Chain A
Amino acid sequence: MAFLSVENYKKSFGNTQVLKGISFSLEKGQILAVIGSSGGGKTTLLRCLNFLETPDEGKLYLNGELLFDADREKANKNSDKEIREKRLHFGLVFQQFNLFPQYSVLGNVTLARKLLAKEQYRYRRNELNKQLAALRGTDKKAFKAQMRAELKAFADSLEKEINEQALALIDRVGLTEKIKSYPCELSGGQCQRVAIARALALSPDVLCFDEPTSALDPELTGEVLKVIKGLKSGDRTMIIVTHEMEFARKVADKVIFISDGVIEEKGSPEEIFGNPKSEKTKAFLARSRENRELD
């Protein structure tokens, strides 16, 4: 079975069906490019994958595990905690970055991990407290001191690990000098690179990008695309919604063309871009080529 497999995702808003049965699968480390005309449902698909929307129908398998099943969901809603755990398998880079304005670059990248670390720490402390409660007399005193030291060491190691990882990520997106800057002091391209580092900090199994460059000035898209390209490695699976056909052609292992909520055509970049079969795909590619020439 494939690493990621989406089966028959359907989603309606009111009376309009936006996703009309989307199925695809992806191997670990592959990059999937999603192209399609405006309003086709690409963003909705990514939001469904990230549990920001709940599909009406369909199943999702990740690494062999059934992560989402619309029928099961209807019978028995997932709890807040379950959804949060599932979400952590996925990451999402937004078109509009959505950086946290009051946190510095470093703060943006570390915040989510620090909050998770806090939970880990609390869990550990509770465990130790339980052990402590079972003890009596002098044992108890000794254990208390030991426990304090252990918790401190644990907290320190978590903090150190988080910071080191963040520094490495920020370096990777080329923003080491801007580490203390706030989002309002950065260019759009720099903001998007911070957003990428932020999403990577939680090491998601599947990282999704929703038109990561379309809010940027044309001269800034290059730097962001370069960073994304640099992320390609053996174990990072990515789904990229993009209007940059050249980019999709170069980095993607698989391409799907979505139109009106259905996958009109799927295949390798060579097949889709070199030899499209569907009329709709042909028309779409011709239009996007025209637009490029107009630029």
Chain B
Amino acid sequence: MDTVEKHSVKRKILKTVFAIVLLVGIFFVFLVGNVGCSNKETLKIGYTLYQPMNYIDENGKLTGYDTEFAEKVCDELGYEPEFVRIEWKNKVIDLESGRIDLIWNGMTINDELKAVMLISDPYMENRQVIVAKKEILSEYTVQTDLINAESIVYEKESAAQTVLENIEGLDFARLKGASSQKDAVVEVFSGASEIAVVDETMAFSMTAEGSDFGNTLGYKDIGFEPEKYGIGMRLGEEELLGKINALIAKYKEDGTLDALYEKYIGKTLVETPGFWAVTLSLLIGFGTTCLIFIVTLGLALPLGLLISFGTMSRIKWLSGLLKTIIWIIRGTPLMLLVIIIYYVPGFITGSVILPLAAVFVAFVINYACYFSEIFRGGIQSINKGQYEAGQVLGMTKPQIFFRIVLVQIIKRIIPPMSNEIITLVKDTALARVILVEEIIMHAEDFVISGIIWPLFYSAVFYLVFVGILTLLFRFAEKKLSYFKV
């Protein structure tokens, strides 16, 4: 074999690999930079979906008591509000890292929180209640009755945890922390736990008539201390605190807060979202799912091909390095990679990248590694005689690759590739660990409105999508069935 030719091909491959790595890097830095330079005029308001404080209405718009309240305050102070979805248990980190400027989401004021942030004057009162199957609610009338409960579920780091910890004689082994209030209610609905302790406002809307939970679940006030909601901000932001407190006082005075209470909380009828509202919301989520799928496929396929060339390279350090990377990527969960790529740049540069960008990068790296192994298998399965036949007929290396072996490789790799691509469709659901709102996350958000069927409905979207892909792969296989390799 002519080694000159081989060397130049290798060099070209190497150059391309470097170019791709560089491009991905630039893409990354660009996104970091983009998010990093925030506009002075915006206030980033951290929220979780929590009816009736912050939730999505039937038109897909974020609304609620706190949403409207925050909009009003920002408007008056001359800021542009930007609502940033957070995980409740991460609220302090998000605030300190600058991902958000305010926590405005029915946050119960307590001493622990006061130690790590500034908190406004109280603007609303709330209390914790218990949610249980209607037939057993009568067994509980005072707090100490909970000692007899089989199991109690609450949202971690929420006000419910505080009130439960204050009940003397309660067996902590029977307590179970959930990642959100809605999950706590679903636990009770499914029978996994007996009692959930949640905010009254939440309990009210989730067990409203017409919701999936309304028939079986009810809620009850068993005398927990009333608590007060406040707005959280970074330590040292005294000036902002003063302005906000002044406005709270003004809104209490002029009845603005009472009007908000009437509009969102005092109403006796909760509207559960209908079929079309759900479909619309799921379609939006499905759009994100498809975007992750397309971007991943579009970038991971060429990158995977380059990596497979790299692993077959005669340059020892390159193939060794790539094989190690593949081993690491294939040996660890994709979810971990998503989390690392999302958080690590933040630790280093101090500014966070867009969650969607982190998902793209993690998915592309992960799938490029899987694809590269499939490509390598396909390339190595081609008989050496095919290359030699091309060579003795005076063909160039690219001609041999593109005119002779490529189709044979494609034919060989369609079955493993189709498996991997179908797995990709479903792996997109992992994006929600960093709050990218793909379809499952949209479906889950309806649980706070008391309906659970959108979760099952979301499966239909996946089934249709995978069905279409399956047909496409079958078509491709049929197209290439006229020859044997």
Residues of A within 8 A of B (CB): 50-54, 77-80, 83-85, 87-88, 90-92, 94, 96, 98-102, 111-112, 115-116, 182-184, 198-199, 202
Instruction: Indicate which residue in A52, A54, A77, A84 contacts B394 across the interface (CB closer than 8 Å).
Output: A84
Question: Contacts A102-B407, A183-B483: A111 and B2 contacting too (C-beta < 8 A)?
Answer: no
> A168 CB to closest chain B CB, in angstroms?
18
Cβ contacts under 8 Å, B383 to chain A: 98
A50 adjacent to B392 (CB under 8 Å): yes
Q: Does B403 contact A (CB under 8 A)?
A: yes
Rounded to whole angstroms, the CA-CA distance of A198 and B392 in the bound complex is 11
| CB<8 Å pairs between A and B, sample of 18 | A52-B1, A52-B391, A80-B5, A83-B5, A85-B394, A87-B394, A91-B392, A94-B389, A96-B385, A98-B385, A101-B485, A102-B407, A111-B403, A112-B393, A112-B395, A182-B483, A183-B484, A199-B392
B33 to chain A: closest CB distance in Å? 43
Say yes or no: is B216 at the interface (Cβ < 8 Å to chain A). no
CB of B408 within 8 A of chain A?
Answer: yes
Let me know if B166 is at the binding interface, CB within 8 A.
Answer: no
B395 touches A115 (CB 8 A): yes
Residues of A within 8 A of B386 (CB): 98, 100
Contact partners of A94 in chain B: CB under 8 A: 385, 388-389
Residues of A within 8 A of B395 (CB): 84, 112, 115
CB distance from B392 to the nearest CB of A (A): 4
B190 within 8 A of partner (CB):
no
Within 8 A of A (CB), among B1-57: 1-5, 8
Q: Indicate if B90 sits at the interface (CB-CB under 8 A).
A: no
Does B393 contact A111, Cβ atoms closer than 8 Å?
Answer: yes
Given contacts A94-B388, A183-B483, contact A80 B393 (CB under 8 A): no
**Chain B residues near A80 (CB, 8 Å)?**
2, 4-5, 8, 396-397
Residues of B within 8 A of A112 (CB): 390, 393-395
Q: How far is the CB of A206 from chain B (nearest CB, A)?
A: 12
Which parts of B367-401 form the interface with A (CB within 8 Å)? 383, 385-386, 388-397, 399
Closest B residue to A112 by beta carbon equals B393
With A51-B2, A85-B394, A112-B393 given, can you name 12 additional A-B contacts, CB distance below 8 Å? Answer: A50-B392, A53-B1, A54-B1, A78-B2, A79-B5, A80-B4, A83-B2, A83-B5, A84-B395, A87-B391, A102-B480, A199-B393
CB–CB A79/B392 < 8 A? no
Roughly how many angstroms separate A78 CA and B1 CA in the complex, as a whole number?
11
Among B3, B4, B8, B392, which residue has the most Cβ atoms of chain A within 10 A? B392
Interface residues on B, range: 20 to 34
Interface of B: prevailing SS: helix
Q: Do the beta carbons of A100 and B404 come within 8 Å of each other? A: yes
Cβ of B467 to closest chain A Cβ, rounded Å: 29
A52 touches B482 (CB 8 A): no
B1 to chain A, nearest CB (A): 7
- Chain A positions within 8 Å of B392 at CB level: 50, 52, 87, 90-92, 199
Complex CA–CA separation, A202 to B394 (angstroms) = 9
Residue of A nearest to B406 (CB): A102
Shortest beta-carbon contacts, A-B, top 10: A112-B393, A98-B385, A98-B389, A80-B5, A184-B484, A101-B483, A92-B392, A102-B483, A88-B394, A102-B407
Q: Is the CB of A198 within 8 A of B408?
A: no
Whole-angstrom distance between the alpha carbons of A53 and B395 in the complex?
Answer: 16
**Complex alpha-carbon distance, A77 and B6, angstroms:** 13
Chain A nearest CB, measured from B265 CB (Å): 69
* Centre residue among B394, B399, B408 by max chain A CB count within 10 A: B394
Which chain B residues border A96 with CB–CB below 8 Å? 385
Contact A78 B408 (CB under 8 A): no
The answer for the CA separation of A149 and B328 in the assembled complex, in Å, is: 59
Write out the residue numbers on chain B whose beta carbons fall within 8 Å of the beta carbon of A52: 1, 388, 391-392
Q: Are A115 and B399 in contact (CB under 8 A)?
A: yes
Pair B394/A116 contact, Cβ less than 8 Å: yes
Q: Which residues of B contact A102 (CB under 8 A)?
A: 407-408, 480, 482-483
Instruction: Return chain A residues, CB-CB under 8 Å to B484.
Output: 101, 183-184
User: How near does chain A come to B31, taking the closest CB pair, in angstroms?
Assistant: 41
Q: Known interface pairs A78-B4, A80-B397. Does A115 touch B483 (Cβ–Cβ under 8 Å)?
A: no
- A residues within 8 A CB of B390? 112
Q: Compute how far the CA of A52 lies from the CA of B1 in the bound complex, rounded to whole angstroms.
A: 6
- In the complex, what residue of chain B is closest to A83 when comparing beta carbons? B2
Instruction: Evaluate contact between A184 and B483: CB separation under 8 angstroms.
Output: yes
Q: In the complex, what residues of A have CB within 8 A of residue B4's CB?
A: 77-80
Q: Which residues of A contact B397 (CB under 8 A)?
A: 80
Q: Is the CB of B485 within 8 A of A98?
A: no
Task: Give the residues in chain B near A111, CB-CB below 8 Å.
Answer: 393, 403
The residues of B that contact A101 with a CB separation of less than 8 Å are 408, 483-485
Q: Which residues of A contact B391 (CB under 8 A)?
A: 51-52, 87
Closest-CB distance, B294 to chain A (whole angstroms) = 29
A242 and B484 CA atoms in complex are apart in Å by 28
The answer to whether B483 and A202 have CB atoms under 8 Å apart is no
Kindly provide the distance from the CB of A237 to the nearest chain B CB, expressed in whole angstroms: 16
Chain B residues positioned under 8 Å from A90 (CB to CB): 392
CB distance from A46 to the nearest CB of B (A): 10
A25 to B138, CA, bound (A): 109
Task: Looking at the assembled complex, report how far the CB atom of B36 sits from the nearest CB atom of chain A, in whole angstroms.
Answer: 48
Q: Do B2 and A182 touch across chains, with their CB atoms under 8 A apart?
A: no
With both chains docked as a complex, state the minimum distance between the C-beta of B184 and any C-beta of chain A, in angstroms.
60
Closest CB in chain B relative to A200 CB, distance in Å: 11
Which A residues touch B5, using CB under 8 A?
Answer: 79-80, 83
Compute how far the CA of A94 lies from the CA of B483 in the bound complex, rounded to whole angstroms: 20
Give the distance in Å from the alpha carbon of A91 to the alpha carbon of B388 in the complex. 11
Smallest CB-CB separation from B384: which chain A residue? A98
User: CA A149 – CA B95 in complex, angstroms?
Assistant: 72
On chain A, the residues within 8 Å of B396 by CB distance are: 80, 84
Q: Please give, as numbers and ranges, the residues of chain B lying within 8 Å of A92 by CB-CB distance.
A: 392
Q: Are A98 and B2 in contact (CB under 8 A)?
A: no
Which residue of chain A has the shortest Cβ distance to B2 in the bound complex?
A83
CB distance from B394 to the nearest CB of A (A): 5
User: CA A162 – CA B358 in complex, angstroms?
Assistant: 54
Q: CA–CA, A87 to B388, complex, Å?
A: 12
Chain A contacts of B485 at CB under 8 A? Answer: 101
